[in-house]
Amino acid sequence: MPDLPISIAQHYHDRTKYDPDTLAAKARKLDWENQPIPFKEYKIGKTIDLKPYLKKLSEQERQDREILGLKRLSRLLFCTYGLTAKVPTSTGNPLYFRAAPSAGGLYPAEVYLISQGTPFLPPGLYNYQTKTHSLIRFWDADAWPTLKGSCFWHPVLESTRLAIATTAVFYRSAWRYEDRAYRRIFLDTGHLLGNLELASALTDYRPHAIGGFLDASLNKLFYLDPDREAVLTVIPLADLLAVDQNLPPYRTALPSATQTTYPEVADGDLLTYFHHATEIDTDTSGTGGWTRDSEPEEREDKYNLPFCSKVSTRTPPIDWGENLQGLENTILRRRSTRSYNGASITLEELNAILDFTYHPQHYLYQGLDGQPDFFDLTLLETFVAVSSVEGLDEGCYYYAPKAEELRQVRFKNFRRELHFLCLGQDLGRDAAALVFHTADLKKAIAKYGDRVYRYLHMDAGHLGQRLNLAAIYMGLGVSGIGGFFDDRVNEVLGIPEDEAVIYITTLGRPR
């Protein structure tokens, strides 16, 4: 029986896998003279300095709608993607850190605002200038009608007056990671969305993610060259202080076409070609349009072997402190761990991290959103490789979020294999546990077309950021890994070949 043609998403995934037999041969020296600058500059436009609004307001200032509005927006943007540290280096070029992590510290994302007109932000298009914590208004016309049409008249845009759009400047990541950078770009976007979700709770907003839109129309709206930079998400911000903007959740993802006929694409061109292949050029929202998602599709626990040992992960929720101050502090001081000491973490710590990541409904009483927007979590599975967790045997576990339990699928200490499959990074060897996000790629493509590759990586990054913050708050180390020997992960963990590995997050005691 002849092989059926595979879609461009599957083709891209297979071609960008790391393999130990070929990785060294493909290695190249970085072009340091052309290292991209992770900041975007506009030569013209009106600047709004947001730094003064980070300080505590006087009672009189709190009565001013414009000042209070800018205060909330300043805090939201700073906690989402703000510059949180500047470290000098021997080259003379400082190293910048932001609230959201980024592979290689390359920060491919840009954050834009679209205002329909509010008491504190006139109509127009704005770019968030991370380096100076300011907004630059580079277009002063009302762009809202174009935004609505490009998003197929999403209902949330009928009630809201402010939206965020995130883009990616492809070369910032491709400079180091070449075609595989596309994976990391969407993981980084997911990190940013995780911060935005939680920072919105701190500022009385509710973000409504939109992943399906007319790509060409939005790229044109923001004056982007789609071969270099493109819109990845649109997030209308519902103001929870306005009664008419307390809106139900809506559908977030739309399907694209599935492309099974494509030319031979040269290395170096695959990223751009694949991105264009995942674009939407016609309304795919269905005859009913965008639907309410008040009862989202329930996630099913996939692996339930009859004789596997099962360990409950039920635990009291993490207490983020009065007014979520602990959460905000954690977002701003978060750093990726560079090395672990190999010591154990406790089962209670692991359970608390999993609880915060997968059960937002447990945090309603603390003021967090119990049903935040993802694109489709039913497509992602979670495995945990345990090397040193007190109260848990070594081995590989499937995490069943619905049942709130870990199910052991392999019995072994994997430290040596984990070190190898994480490209020889000591993080894989010395971590106490590694969390793997995987997906049945064929099943996902059948549901959403090739565009699903975006959704899978953004959702994995979003979950990864929640893992990050919970671990840091509890005094643990945490670091994401986007580079690994793809097929060896399946072999080591004993999971089916159909499960594509999307992301790895390491947890442990920092050195």
Please state, in angstroms and rounded to a whole number, the distance separating the CA atoms of residues 57 and 53.
8
Average the pLDDT over 360-364 and give the result: 98
The residue type found at 268 is G
In this predicted model, which residue has the larger pLDDT, 460 or 29? 460
Please state, in angstroms and rounded to a whole number, the distance separating the CA atoms of residues 488 and 269.
26
Give pLDDT, residue 289. 66
Please state, in angstroms and rounded to a whole number, the distance separating the CA atoms of residues 217 and 313.
45
What is the four-CA torsion angle of 481, 486, 489, 495, rounded to 10 degrees?
120
Q: Residue 227 — very low, low, confident or very high, per pLDDT cuts 50/70/90?
A: very high
Beta bridge partners of 250: 292
For the chain, the average pLDDT equals 94
Q: What pTM did the predictor assign? A: 0.96
The predicted-structure confidence for 312-337, as pLDDT tens digits, reads as follows: 999 999 999 999 999 999 999 999 99
The predicted-structure confidence for 161-189, as pLDDT tens digits, reads as follows: 999 999 999 999 999 999 999 999 999 99
**pLDDT over 90 for what percent of the chain?**
84
Strand order through the sheet with 380-386: 310-312, 405-410, 395-400, 380-386, 433-440, 499-508, 477-481
What does the DSSP assignment read for 418-461? HHHHTTT-HHHHH-SEEEEEEEEHHHHHHHHGGGHHHHHHHHHH
In this predicted model, which residue has the larger pLDDT, 291 or 475? 475
- Whether residue 303 is predicted with pLDDT greater than 90 in this model: the reply is no
Q: Token digits for 321? A: 């402190």
- Whether residue 56 is predicted with pLDDT greater than 60 in this model: the reply is yes
Classify each residue of 407-433 as buried b or exposed e, where b means 16 or more C-beta atoms within 10 Å of its C-beta. bbbbebebbebbbbbbeebebbbbbbb
- Whether residue 265 is predicted with pLDDT greater than 60 in this model: the reply is yes
CA quadruple 116, 119, 122, 127: dihedral sign = negative
Start-end ranges of CATH 3.40.109.10 in the chain? 8-14+32-277, 310-508
Average the pLDDT over 339-366 and give the result: 98
Specify the DSSP class assigned to residue 259. Answer: -
30 Rama class: left (phi>0) / alpha (psi -120 to 50) / beta = beta
Right CATH number for 310-508 from 3.40.109.10, 3.40.50.10490, 3.40.50.300, 3.40.50.620? Answer: 3.40.109.10
Who contacts 93 (Cβ-Cβ below 8 Å, separation ≥6)?
Answer: none
Q: Residue 1 — very low, low, confident or very high, per pLDDT cuts 50/70/90?
A: very low
Provide CATH code, domain 8-14+32-277. Answer: 3.40.109.10
Give pLDDT, residue 447. 96
Q: Residue 288 — very low, low, confident or very high, per pLDDT cuts 50/70/90?
A: low
- Whether residue 295 is predicted with pLDDT greater than 60 in this model: the reply is no
| Angle (nearest 5°) at CA 373 between 369 and 376 | 135
The predicted-structure confidence for 418-441, as pLDDT tens digits, reads as follows: 999 999 999 999 999 999 999 999
Per residue, the 3-state secondary structure of 482-499, as one string, reads CCCCHHHHHHHHCCCCCE
Average the pLDDT over 22-35 and give the result: 81
Average the pLDDT over 208-234 and give the result: 98
